[in-house]
Amino acid sequence: MNKQQAEKEIHQLRALIQQYNHDYFVLDAPQVSDAEYDRTMCQLLDLEDAYPELVTPDSPSQRVGAEPVGAFEKVAHRVPMLSLSNAFDEGELRDFDRRVRQGVEGDVTYVCELKIDGLAVSLTYEDGQFVRGATRGDGTTGEDITSNLRTIRSLPLKLKEPTTIEVRGEAFMPHKSFLALNQAREARDEEPFANPRNAAAGSLRQLDPKIAASRNLDVFLYAVGEWEEETLASHSERLETIQALGLKTNPEWKKCATIDDVIDYVNHWTVERPNLNYEIDGIVIKVDRLDQQEALGFTAKSPRWAIAYKFPAEEAITTLTDIELSVGRTGVITPTAILEPVKVAGTTVQRASLHNADFIDEKDIRLGDTVAIKKAGDIIPEVVRVITEKRPDNAERYAMPEHCPDCGSDLVHLEEEVALRCINPDCPAQLQEGLIHFVSRDAMNIDGLGEKVVGQLFREKLVQTISDIYRLEKPALLELERMGEKSASNLIQAIDQSRSNSLEKLIFGLGIRFIGSKAAKTLAAHFKTIDALAHATYDDLIAVDEIGEKMADSVVRYFSEPHVDELIKDLHALGVNMTFKGREPSTSVSDSPFTDKTVVLTGKLEHFTRKELKDTIEAMGGSVTGSVSKNTDIVIAGEAAGSKYNKAVELDIDIWDEARLQEALNA
């Protein structure tokens, strides 16, 4: 066979294998036996070995051809990958329908799709060739995981048409793959993955594509990011067209003419979801017509033409066997329920949050109680209620301790706080938690210094203070258990890199009470140097936009401590940067109800996490602070709002409930 004949044969074999893959992995309808598939693949590999110059990136042989990478490169999304607002019941779905119909002209048709519980990804094809795959990341910037996505056999390396398009979807791990993976990990005495979503995300973030390939992932595509050639008029046509291009869409999507049809679809899959071969955590509802989507537009965070219905949180019944206390970096004592292991929403739960003493008293939680637990937002396990009819006769009320469980110091209640607090500055638990905070991602971001390594360094007395981190040397690290040559070198390098961080990273890392990452950046941008901040007066600080009274007082108190002055001098001598290197934060969002507003969150919110809502408000030009003062513009109050609510009433500050908040976000 000459080269020309080989090239023709290679093209035929590739087309055949691509069709076999499509039949098997996309249509779930294999047309040939495994033996025939393997024989065809071997023919292709033999020819490509003989004529390596004929190997192309879209060849089926190249799905696992890449070498391991050192790190994932960043990818900017030209069209942001926004998240969706949530609905939790029928009433909220009907509210969504009402808002949509008020915002557009003509009849409205919806498309309902299963909300796959995996990892959101973006795929870019140029002239039909798969050239790049990225994670969602923060919505504007993700990570390049092209080599790992190429290993997913349902993802075509070449489309059926030579079009240039960016499509979005969800990579996931089917139940069968998940069970096989965990069985293999347990056989190797490795920790099994908690759920398929974690397993999929972990697989796609492996630096070696061969590991991702072994995990047998899958993907469903459901949206178009960019497509210059598009002439379609509806989302349903998009789904049909991208499927015709060879991309895999979820077959369970459905057009619905009314909101009643949508609710019927939701109710059907609420019951039927256990029968699927993959995890779903809700239903996505989208306005079908693209011109109506354009008319409805977007809020700062999400489209107004789509919403995600979230399935009710799954509850489980178990026994509370003990209450464990932990000491945070600010000395707060947090109780945690120790439970008989129980499966909740796909993971085994043995611990659940009890928040504080008031929470325990309010629910009358006792040792030995039978309790119902659920995952708040499907993430954090918490005790919902006590099943008192199953309570043991000898169950006694739980009393919080009077002394710190770690250092034995007296515990105190500070003014306006529910929590008990250890105020011993030398408490070992607080010192260790402070170190963990200092090296964390939003602070100094020292890769390789995780919680376990910090604990090991602390126990070995190699690191007792923040400054000690910058005195670490490689020989000392190599003495540690499970610390090899490469790990030690990488850790020393990461520590050195952190010396040049911009000032806001250091300010946040110092753990000043009430100063979060946003406030740290505000202070760094305003004062420019740590010395200027350390010498700022209360009046200097309160004059800074977004810095409230408690924050200002906390900063002044922090820098008045003699040991802090010594710490700053020490860090400076060790080469840690003390100046602001970034741009000043922008707060101009002209059409937002939160523009230039100072907002305080209090109480338990039903539809938002604190971080999610804080990020949304800040993206809309507002600032979120922790204390109510005369500078506060809005207080958003959820259930069980306490002293902040009372102070807002006293100061005649505008108070919003969650309904008013949602109106503002959807305006």
pLDDT in tens, 114-141: 999 999 999 999 999 999 999 998 788 8
- Tell me 313's DSSP state: P
155 pLDDT tier (thresholds 50, 70, 90): very high
pLDDT in tens, 309-357: 988 877 889 999 999 999 988 888 999 999 999 988 667 889 998 988 8
Reference 204, options 177, 239, 164, 244; nearest CA is: 177
Reference 151, options 242, 65, 33; nearest CA is: 65
Same domain as 178, residue 130: yes
What is the percent of the chain with per-residue pLDDT over 90, rounded to a whole number?
51
Considering Cα of 105, then 222, then 273, then 200, what sign does the dihedral take? negative
Whether the per-residue pLDDT at 591 is higher than 70: the answer is no
Same domain as 234, residue 110: yes
pLDDT for residue 586: 45
What number of H helices and E strands is found in the chain? 25, 22
3-state secondary structure at position 368: coil
Residue 422 lies in a domain: no
Residue 55 lies in a domain: yes
Number of domains in the chain: 5
pLDDT for residue 61: 77
CA distance 14 to 62: 11
587 pLDDT tier (thresholds 50, 70, 90): very low
In this prediction, residues 245-268 reach a mean pLDDT of 96
pLDDT for residue 415: 66
- CATH number (domain holding residue 519): 1.10.150.20
In this prediction, residues 71-82 reach a mean pLDDT of 85
- Tell me 67's DSSP state: P
pLDDT for residue 391: 94
pLDDT for residue 360: 93
Whether the per-residue pLDDT at 98 is higher than 50: the answer is yes
In this prediction, residues 532-560 reach a mean pLDDT of 92
Residue 346 lies in a domain: yes
CA distance 606 to 604: 6
Same domain as 125, residue 41: no
CA distance 543 to 332: 30
Structure tokens at 615: 């990020």
pLDDT for residue 25: 64
- CATH number (domain holding residue 384): 2.40.50.140
Same domain as 409, residue 435: no
Same domain as 568, residue 505: yes
Rounded to whole angstroms, the maximal C-alpha distance in the chain is 90
Same domain as 198, residue 141: yes
Whether the per-residue pLDDT at 631 is higher than 90: the answer is no
In this prediction, residues 595-621 reach a mean pLDDT of 80
Residue 455 lies in a domain: yes
Structural domain boundaries, residue 238: 86-310
Among the listed ranges 48-52, 171-175, 334-338, which one has the minimum average pLDDT value? 48-52
The residue from 379, 413, 447 where one domain ends is 413
Same domain as 217, residue 100: yes
Contact 494, 449 (CB under 8 A): yes
pLDDT for residue 65: 55
Strands 315-327, 333-344: pairing is antiparallel
Is 390 tagged catalytic? no
Same domain as 139, residue 108: yes
228 pLDDT tier (thresholds 50, 70, 90): confident
Q: Which of 3, 8, 74, 115 is catalytic?
A: 115
pLDDT for residue 382: 85
Same domain as 331, residue 288: no
pLDDT for residue 475: 94
Residue 122's DSSP bridge partners are: 134, 168
User: In the predicted model, what is the mean pLDDT of the chain?
Assistant: 87
The residue from 258, 276, 310 where one domain ends is 310
592 pLDDT tier (thresholds 50, 70, 90): confident
83 pLDDT tier (thresholds 50, 70, 90): confident
Residue 543 lies in a domain: yes
629 pLDDT tier (thresholds 50, 70, 90): confident
pLDDT for residue 657: 84
Same domain as 404, residue 437: no
Whether the per-residue pLDDT at 66 is higher than 60: the answer is no
- CATH number (domain holding residue 139): 3.30.470.30
Among the listed ranges 150-164, 391-405, 648-662, which one has the minimum average pLDDT value? 648-662
Residue 257 lies in a domain: yes
67 pLDDT tier (thresholds 50, 70, 90): low
CA distance 471 to 392: 54
Residue 286 lies in a domain: yes
**What's this model's pTM, rounded to 2 decimal places?**
0.53
Among the listed ranges 387-391, 578-582, 658-662, which one has the minimum average pLDDT value? 658-662
Residue 74 lies in a domain: no
pLDDT for residue 69: 57
CA distance 47 to 598: 67
Same domain as 468, residue 562: yes
Contact 424, 407 (CB under 8 A): yes
The residue from 284, 310, 336 where one domain ends is 310
In this prediction, residues 541-568 reach a mean pLDDT of 91
pLDDT for residue 585: 47
457 pLDDT tier (thresholds 50, 70, 90): very high
262 pLDDT tier (thresholds 50, 70, 90): very high
CA distance 193 to 199: 6
Among the listed ranges 2-11, 265-274, 383-392, which one has the minimum average pLDDT value? 2-11
Same domain as 301, residue 202: yes
- CATH number (domain holding residue 653): 3.40.50.10190
Contact 307, 85 (CB under 8 A): yes
